[in-house]
């Protein structure tokens, strides 16, 4: 399997309309350049060790950004095409890749082609651009026709992706994003609804562009929630999908004192000690060595600090996030243990203005807000320096209620990781260690020595330890 930049990436996820304090709705007086917070956060991201930014949605829309009205105009509530292109270059100059949202399943009702359909009805040249248009009845929003809407939300009009004109419109926009804006990848919204041949054609389009222009690989990430992720992955499809299966297990294993839950998901995805996936580069599991996009929170789900019953569990939570197979992603504010839930504040609670984040962190210091950024920086640094943590196969060594240990291994390197969710330090008795000397990669005090493949491994309270095995 070829190596691409995303395989070593540490992503930082930004929802820009919230981050930049943009108005909730696009209006005649809402246009302004609000990108300055994104410049101001750059030093912080560099300090964390971030190497890639996933920011989206950024294109013009009426409200939340996923009701796109243009694929080639930055939302004027954020700035202009030129100002956003300058921001991409700024992040590139600071060593970070940039990935944007591509919302290609549906558009907003202000999308030009849909406005034409509203105006001209059956005579519109765009009547076949949208799915299941029916002039025998009216939509709930009073059109003289109805259409397929995403999950019944008639503000979101489903595109007919079987129409070659629609595909050309989208693919031309994607090439413009790569060429003119200079981005490095696209996260495909609701990719689980996109036809596989559409994904394959998109892959061909972006590969042809990057190959002909001497550009690095274009990262394609799909939003996929349920099912077998391998159906979307491959050299002719997507590079990665959103790992919702492990997302849930990462935090609920902590709340339930049951690491067997996340171990089951990791074994299903990547193999474990029981299925023979134990040798260097010997992948098991249905993801078969493909990278997944790992996260513990995002713009659609409650914050990790809001769902964890013990805030100290943020430490083993992030410890796992950065050491399991796939690419880790931190959602803005998560590095400070920021809370927020849909139940108490709706989507707005999950998508705050960055200045408000900093105010809350400064005004309500906790052990998490004080110590977590440095811990994440250390994890990012350890992962970046380790071939095995970036691309090694997984083998589970120990799974208990509050402790877990595993190997990550390539032909060149073997790394041992252990986490402890208990409030007390523990010593783990581990066997089948493929070496004799364990050298700490984090802040552990000293080397350890294995005898006949066995080692006693101390792990501090709420701790994560990482050792390279020689």
> Which residue ranges form the domains of the chain, and what is each CATH number?
5-110+162-384 (3.20.20.80), 112-158 (no CATH), 392-469 (2.60.40.1180)
Whether 293 and 10 have beta carbons less than 8 Å apart is answered as: no
Contacts of residue 232, defined as CB under 8 A and 6 or more positions apart, other chains included, come to 191, 192, 196, 199, 222, 224, 238, 241
- Please report, for residues 113, 118, 120, 121, 269, the alpha-carbon distance to residue 125 in angstroms, rounded to integers and kept in the order given: 9, 11, 9, 9, 46
**pLDDT reported for residue 280:** 43
Whether 296 and 242 have beta carbons less than 8 Å apart is answered as: no
- Give the rounded percent of residues in the chain with a pLDDT score beyond 90: 90
Contacts of residue 328, defined as CB under 8 A and 6 or more positions apart, other chains included, come to 10, 11, 294, 295, 321, 322, 379, 380, 383
**pLDDT reported for residue 354:** 98
Q: Is this prediction's pTM over 0.85?
A: yes
Q: Which residues of the chain have pLDDT under 50?
A: 1, 273-281
> Chain-wide mean pLDDT for the chain?
94
* DSSP characters over 224-272: --SS-GGGGBSTTSBSEEB-HHHHHHHHHHHHTT-THHHHHHHHHHH--
User: Is the peptide bond preceding residue 57 cis, with omega within 30 degrees of 0?
Assistant: yes
Contacts of residue 248, defined as CB under 8 A and 6 or more positions apart, other chains included, come to none
**pLDDT reported for residue 277:** 43
110-138 pLDDT, tens digit each: 999 999 999 999 999 999 999 999 999 99
Supply φ then ψ for residue 257, to 5 degrees. 50, 55
**pLDDT reported for residue 2:** 54
**pLDDT reported for residue 291:** 85
Count of Cβ atoms closer than 10 Å to residue 470 Cβ: 12
Handedness of CA 175, 180, 183, 188 (dihedral sign): negative
Name the strand (E) or helix (H) holding 154: strand 153-158
Written as six digits, the tokens of 334 are 């998560």
Count of Cβ atoms closer than 10 Å to residue 280 Cβ: 15
Taking the C-alpha atoms of residue 421 and residue 9, their distance in angstroms, rounded to an integer, is: 26
């Amino acid at each position: 399997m070829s190596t691409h930049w995303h395989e070593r990436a540490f992503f930082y996820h930004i929802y820009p309309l919230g981050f930049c304090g943009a108005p909730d709705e696009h209006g005649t007086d809402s246009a302004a350049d609000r990108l300055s917070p994104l410049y101001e956060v750059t030093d912080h991201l560099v300090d964390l060790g971030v190497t890639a930014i996933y920011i989206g949605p950024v294109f013009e829309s009426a409200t939340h950004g996923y009701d796109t009205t243009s694929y080639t105009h930055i939302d004027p509530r954020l700035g202009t095409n030129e100002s956003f292109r300058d921001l991409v270059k700024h992040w590139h100059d600071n060593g970070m890749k940039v990935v944007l949202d591509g919302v290609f399943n549906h558009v907003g009702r202000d999308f030009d082609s849909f406005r034409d359909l509203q105006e001209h009805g059956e005579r519109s040249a765009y009547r076949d651009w949208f799915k299941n248009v029916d002039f025998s009845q009216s939509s709930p929003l009073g059109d003289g026709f109805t259409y397929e809407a995403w999950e019944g939300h008639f503000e979101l009009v489903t595109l007919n992706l079987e129409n070659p004109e629609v595909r050309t419109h989208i693919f031309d926009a994607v090439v413009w994003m790569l060429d003119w804006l200079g981005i490095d990848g696209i996260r495909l919204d609701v990719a689980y609804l996109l036809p596989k041949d559409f994904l394959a054609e998109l892959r061909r389009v972006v590969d042809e562009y990057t190959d002909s222009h001497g550009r690095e690989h274009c990262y394609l990430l799909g939003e996929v929630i349920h099912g077998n992720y391998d159906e979307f992955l491959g050299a002719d499809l997507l590079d990665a999908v959103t790992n919702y299966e492990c997302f849930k297990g990462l935090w609920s294993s902590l709340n339930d004192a049951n690491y067997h839950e996340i171990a089951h998901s990791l074994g299903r995805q990547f193999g474990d000690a029981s299925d023979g996936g134990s040798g260097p580069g010997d992948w098991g599991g249905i993801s078969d060595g493909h990278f997944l996009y790992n996260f513990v929170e995002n713009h659609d789900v409650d914050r990790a600090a809001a769902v964890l019953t013990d805030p100290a569990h943020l430490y083993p939570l992030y410890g796992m996030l950065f050491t399991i197979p796939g690419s880790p992603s931190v959602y803005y504010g998560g590095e400070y243990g920021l809370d927020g839930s849909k139940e108490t504040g709706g989507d707005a609670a999950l998508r705050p203005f960055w200045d408000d984040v900093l105010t809350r962190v400064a005004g309500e210091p906790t052990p998490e807000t004080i110590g977590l950024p440095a811990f994440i920086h250390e994890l990012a640094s350890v992962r970046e320096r380790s071939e095995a943590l970036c691309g090694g196969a997984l083998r589970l060594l120990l799974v208990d209620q509050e402790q877990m240990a595993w190997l990550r291994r390539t032909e060149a390197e073997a790394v041992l990781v252990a986490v402890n969710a208990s409030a007390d330090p523990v010593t783990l008795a581990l066997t089948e260690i493929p070496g004799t000397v364990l050298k700490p990669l984090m802040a552990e005090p000293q080397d350890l020595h294995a005898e006949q493949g066995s080692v006693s491994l101390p792990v501090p309270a709420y701790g994560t330890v990482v050792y390279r095995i020689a």
